[in-house]
Structure 1
């Protein structure tokens, strides 16, 4: 993998917990060097591929079959051919970024629960993948009931977060994935690497684990696992069943 030591090193160092601070007291990085990046709506981060036409299907059938789940869930993540332009200030300069739309469709017990359209772009030099916002449609009994969690960088003080750094996966790195005050403040902590993971889609090596939290709900904790070349394979009990490459 090509490395760019000055830019990559600066970002990765900023993602590490501050020296001398206990893990639960370490700050989460909330600003990133986007102005230094050539941002692209297509990317090749091995843990978060942005390839239009890619589709991945997840389910929790295993735990339902074993009686550990109350609901049958299915999630389909599609990297669409569509892009969306997002305009925001980067180092004080108004900048328009073409972001890739990644659609997530969640079903619960066969009923539509949520459709979200998420906006991502990758820094060409570093393979850092940044998150610029999302549209959210929530459903109950087939009816649209809300849009909780929607946000867009450049609107109401919202700023991009980072969804997956490029380069080395540094244990202990902590950063905001979303920076939308009062609306969306998901954070990530790198908690494990070198994992062997077996999901319905297959057995994989050298996988990593990320713990997600938010200051908006201190009881909310989510676990995700990513494998190189495949991306997300485990999302809080949902396991990768099938992936279709473009």
Structure 2
């Protein structure tokens, strides 16, 4: 591991440093993207559990493409940023969160041995890495995302250029959405996002996902010099980054990134449990369990409801007056619940009604 001084030496100087008036959960994953990365189209694991009010409310509060001087000839699909996980084919790691409201949660990340071609006006032609993220709850594969990441070799900064996302229902993928830099986005064009600057400076802020209509978020460098203990080991010289969704302002995630291994703690996704970026002497470097359930996904049992959707809707409206717009059965807070979507005078709210007892378990 690096200490702060050696970390500074490892980081290359950047000519397009993010301005102070500025990482994102993708990508899709966040997400993703999944995550990229963290602003995921399919709705990543759970909200970031950060209850602080949003510090920023507009994309104008963050540096963006216009500040980064990205050129196609400088963008490479594979490489290493000191605080990011190695964006090299074959890299694998996993985070787990045992206290996730839906059950035991696990996110697995794999850098695939393939690339994606881009040709963006104003940037040019280049290739990105293809990074797969899979999410499991209680061993069941629930989401998959593909993220397109690359580095600027002149600054060593890591960027997200979009991704694809699927929800997995009883082993079958259902397309959930996509965003891609260079594509039309409302009255503008989708822009890439920065996932990790080449030089970490506290206070810097940067757009991390650049689709204003689908996946829009920013990141702020909060702390450096952190020491942290997680299941995969104890790490020093780490940095904390706060990711904030700029569409749903209250969706905030804190992540801790450490030299050599990348993310070790995510307030939404949990703690690092395995990574092949770790020394071979560390048992957590064994990533043989990654992807094992992909070929034979466990089937989720269909929940048996003891109250009807209509009854659940009535119960929800008594708690939250408004107009019910949708009712689905999902697993929340470790239970099968009706999620009753209600349009109120103050916006859209979800009321969670237990499918067996009819008791309201909470609102979102």
| TM-score, reference length from structure 2 | 0.58
Among candidates 190, 207, 210, match of residue 221 of structure 2: 190
Q: Distance in 2 between matches of 1:131 and 1:102?
A: 10
Q: Note the 1:129-144 alignment, pairs <5 A.
A: 129-144=158-173
CA distance in 2, matches of 1:199, 1:34: 35
Residues 89/70 of structure 1: CA separation in 2 closer, same or farther (3 Å cut): same
Matching residue within 132, 146, 152 for 1:103: 132
Q: Name 1:161's counterpart in structure 2.
A: 193
Show the counterpart of 2:180. Answer: 152
User: What does residue 97 of structure 2 align with?
Assistant: 60
**In the alignment, does 2:270 pair up with 1:238?**
yes
- Residues 53 and 245, structure 1, Cα contact 8 Å, conserved in 2: no
- How far the C-alpha of 1:143 sits from its partner, in A, is 3.9
What corresponds to 2:62 in structure 1? Answer: 28
Tell me how far 1:139 sits from its aligned partner.
Answer: 2.3
- Is the CA contact 2:11–2:198 (under 8 Å) kept in the aligned structure 1? no
Contact 1:37 1:123 in 2 (8 A): no
Higher strand share: 1
1:51 to 88, 100, 103: 88
**Is 1:214 paired with 2:245?**
yes
Checking the alignment, whether the CA contact within 8 Å between 1:37 and 1:125 is kept in structure 2 is no
Per the alignment, residue 17 of structure 1 pairs with 21
Distance 1:43 1:4 in 2: 13
Aligned to 1:137, the other structure's residue is in SS state strand
Q: Secondary structure at the match of 2:216?
A: coil
Cα distance in 1 for residues equivalent to 2:206 and 2:275: 28
The verdict on how the C-alpha distance between 1:74 and 1:52 changes in structure 2, with shifts beyond 3 A counting, is same
Following the alignment from structure 1 to structure 2, what is the Cα–Cα distance between the partners of residues 192 and 134?
28
Q: 1:100 to 1:192 in 2, by over 3 A?
A: same
Q: 1:144 to 1:29 in 2, by over 3 A?
A: same
| Structure-2 residue corresponding to 1:39 | 75
Q: Is the 8 A contact 2:216 2:247 kept in 1?
A: yes
- Say whether the 8 Å CA contact 2:160–2:195 is kept in structure 1: yes
- Assess if the C-alpha contact under 8 Å between 2:16 and 2:155 holds in 1: no
Q: What is the Cα-based RMSD across aligned positions, in Å?
A: 2.2
| Bigger radius of gyration | 2
- Residue 103 of structure 2 corresponds to 71
CA deviations 1:46-69 (Å, max 9, x no partner) are 1122121110011113x47xxxx5
SS of structure 1 residue aligned to 2:215: coil
For residues 55 and 97 of structure 1, the distance between their equivalents in structure 2, rounded to whole angstroms, comes to 24
Task: Quote how far apart the aligned CAs of 1:140 are.
Answer: 3.6
Runs of 5+ consecutive residues of structure 2 not aligned to the other structure = 1-8, 23-54, 279-364
Gaps of 5+ in 1: none
Offset, 1:4: 6.5
Shift of 1:41: 0.8
Deviations along 1:8-47, one digit per CA (max 9) or x if unpaired, are 1x422x43128xxxx6478111222102861111111011
The separation in 2 between residues aligned to 1:85 and 1:52, in whole angstroms, is 16
CA distances 1:102-141 after superposition (whole Å, capped 9, x unpaired): 1101101222121111111111121011111101111244
